[in-house]
Structure 1
Amino acid sequence: MPEYILIDGSQGEGGGQILRTSLALAALLRQPVQLENIRANRRQPGLKTQHLAGVLALARITDAEVKGAYKHSTRLAFAPRAIRGGRYRFEISTAGAASMLFGAVLPALLFAPQASEVTITGGTHVAFSPPFHYLEKVFLPTLKRMGCAVDLELVRWGFYPKGGGEIRAHVKPCRDLQGIRLKQRGALKSLQLSACSTPHLPEHIVQREIAQVEKSLIAYSEILKSETLLCRAYSPGNFVFLQAEYEHAAAGFSGLGKRGKPAEDVAEEACRSFREFEETAATLDSHLADQIILYTALARGNSFFITEEATSHLMTNIDIIRKFITVGIDINSSTGLVTVQGTDLNAEAAT
């Protein structure tokens, strides 16, 4: 067995992304890893419920030997064996982000020798995490362009505080992960607004949100389409999603309602993020750049894209990737152009 790689969880942004990227790479490379100071830069350091669920999920997928896997733990040793696809169900007992757990296990499942079906319960539309709609409309279509086949289904919505949402993914092994080349996003072709609310809340909320978006983005009225969705969940919830389709790229912007937050503010949150993206030459929004960088490092061939901002999440992610593999990644700070020399990890190598 190779020696453990030591990862300091307090470096860079010091959050859960360090844990997820470290365990994903450990699983793919069968490389034991030891993490210390997990989530040291957060108000409540250590493993929260959703992080622990991710650790245990990857341990199950890789038959890993694990030490320190308990709530609030700040140290973890993880020694994976072979990746096994199949049918899995992972439950987060709180409104912890199902999307984060999905992001943690997806790299391993893409490089499994057989197809997988994975069901995850928890929060599907919660703060500080990509909502289901972003995964479905932006992240996974980008992965598809790189050669990955993943279908994602929203079985039940999950809002804070009860959670209880459910997503289900069907993942096929990716035999040829290819680099992505996006130097121009092209013209904006369409804007799709989805305004969603649970039956617990007054109907006028989504109508006010649609009106606010139409007012705020009046310059785009010819291509802006709106829809209302009734979402059933255990907790009251409200959510808006603005999907921007360009000739060569896609981007998504959201607003999440909460008690005391006016509907107009929820809608404007998404509009403001879209306008800021439009003012740049970016081909990927900053969230997608952070999510996709691992896949470009593993892909065959070079990748390049322009991000609207080189966030601390992105830079920390790159630092963690370099702890595991030798990969050329360059970021032009003036233009936001990110260039990655892929290392060509194929499915056979991972198993």
Structure 2
Amino acid sequence: MRLIDGSQGEGGGSVLRIATALALVNQEAVTIENIRKKRPVSGLRPQHLLGLRALTDLCGGELVGGKIGSESITFHPGSEWKSNLSVNIPTAGSIGLILQVFQVGMLASADHRVTISFQGGGTFGKWAPTVDYIQNVTWQIFKQMNYHLELSVNQHGFFPKGGAEVTVSMNSPSKLTGVNLTQGEELKNTTISSIATTHLKNARVAERQAEEIQHNLAEHDIDATTNISISDAKNPGSGVLVYSTTGNAIIAGDAVGEKRRSAEMVGQTAFQNYFSTLSNQCSVDKFLADQVLPVMALASSSSTFTTPILTKHTRTNINLIENLTGAKISIEKFDKKFQLSVDV
């Protein structure tokens, strides 16, 4: 039995997600105390509880203390894997955050395939990876590691009502390989993917988000293909992603629409996130770093990448991953970037 202090580092939900997913991989029970102790409202929130219950259901495990507000839980991983799983989210809770748990936990079993149907929840939300980002960035990196995951969206969901419908296929590899991510000499396949709900069609929100990014890219002589989507949803919402391939890296930036925030500001934020990584000659953006580290730590060979900023999430994840996997993650600071090496 492992005992994890949930207040360590940034003290948020990422400690919970990584600790339980790696407990499944290690087939070792874990107790997490002081859950989200540093947050204004401590303890489990509905979204965290949904993720824990879904992981428990996936592997046939047992969850003790799983209730809203709980500051301590014990997760006993199982080994009776389901091939089909249904996850119902009655709120706008992030599907992306639940997928972060699954994409690590699935590595407990080689050559296993599971189909997950999400009913409800959000495909776009603040402080969480969007499904567009996961599909076009995160999982494209994992594909290079021999880890294949796919998703299809039947309906998008936005805060506050959610209502998404998403189907996910996960295939754990027989052998997960490491990857050394580096920028190449030229950008390829630069794409802008901009979405808004039908409520915002007349205001041209999706188009304006994309046009802001196009304008910024043009100033740096970068051509892009633009995909505009107008989606039915339970309430207004929008989001935008810009990404390019270079070498074996994917440079990306995204942003989600909010009330009293113009479409142009949303587009500008996405571009700034993208250009921060590109201009500093990094191979991973500051948000992708903490998503790829747990998977890299479980590979059969070592991995490296560079990132412009080490977020609190990433620093917290590094300490936790080293403690739970035995991998060694070293950090080397350069002028405008950090190089991370994951030695297994």
Report the TM-score range of the alignment, normalised by the length of the smaller protein: over 0.9
> How many angstroms does 1:222 deviate by?
5.0
- Structure-1 residue corresponding to 2:304: 304
1:183-238 CA deviation, whole Å, 9 max, x = no partner? 44442123211221111122422333233222222224552222211111111111
- CA drift at 1:337: 1.1
Is residue 247 of structure 1 aligned with residue 250 of structure 2?
no
- How far apart in 1 are the matches of 2:258 and 2:78? 43
Q: How does 1:121-200 map to 2 (within 5 A)?
A: 121-200=120-199
- Asked if residue 61 in structure 1 is aligned to residue 46 in structure 2, the reply is no
Change (3 A) 1:199 1:79: same
In structure 1, the residue matched to 2:318 is 318
What SS does the corresponding residue of 2:207 show, helix, strand or coil?
Answer: helix
Structure ranking higher on relative contact order (CA contacts 8 Å, 6+ apart): 1
SS at match of 1:88: strand
Q: 1:186 to 1:33 in 2, by over 3 A?
A: farther
Of 75, 79, 83, the residue aligned with 1:82 is: 79
Q: 1:147 to 1:85 in 2, by over 3 A?
A: farther
In the other structure, the counterpart of 1:118 is: 116
Q: Which of structure 1's runs of 4+ aligned residues deviate more than 4 A? A: none
Q: How does 1:1-351 map to 2 (within 5 A)?
A: 4-112=1-109, 114-120=112-118, 121-201=120-200, 202-221=202-221, 223-334=223-334, 335-342=337-344
The amino acid across from 1:118 in the alignment is I
The alignment-based identity, stated in percent, is 29
Structure 1 residues 184 and 235: alpha-carbon distance in aligned structure 2, compared to 1, 3 A threshold: same
Deviation readout 1:28-65 (Å, 9 max, x if unpaired): 11111100111112121111111001111111122222
Q: Residue 332 of structure 2 contacts residue 340 of structure 2 at CA under 8 Å; is this kept in 1?
A: yes
Distance 1:79 1:197, change over 3 A: same
Asked if the contact 1:185–1:283 (Cα under 8 Å) also holds between the matched residues in 2, the reply is no
TM norm structure 2: 0.94
Q: Normalising by structure 1, what TM-score? A: 0.92
- Rounded to whole Å, the distance in 2 between the matches of 1:63 and 1:210 is 44
Contact (CA 8 Å) 2:182, 2:247: kept in 1 or not? no
Query: C-alpha distance in 2, partners of 1:205/1:116?
Result: 36
The whole-number CA distance in structure 1 between the counterparts of 2:211 and 2:233 is 25
Alpha-carbon distance between aligned partners in 1 of 2:182 and 2:341, rounded to the nearest angstrom: 10
Hey, what's the Cα distance between the residues in 1 that align with 2:75 and 2:210?
Answer: 47
Q: What amino acid is aligned across from residue 114 of structure 1 in structure 2?
A: H
Q: Is the 8 A contact 1:244 1:252 kept in 2?
A: yes
Taking only aligned residues, the RMSD between alpha carbons, in angstroms, comes to 1.6
> Contact between 1:193 and 1:224, CA under 8 Å: does it hold in 2?
yes
Q: How far did 1:322 drift?
A: 2.2
Q: 1:284-328: CA deviations, max 9, x gaps?
A: 112111111111111011111112222211111111112222222
Shift of 1:111: 3.7
Task: Report which stretch shifted further, 211-220 or 138-147.
Answer: 211-220
Looking at secondary structure, tell me which structure has more strand per residue: 2
Instruction: Report the secondary structure of 2:287's partner residue.
Output: helix
Q: Output the CA distance in 1 between the equivalents of 2:180 and 2:191.
A: 25
Instruction: Count residues in correspondence.
Output: 339
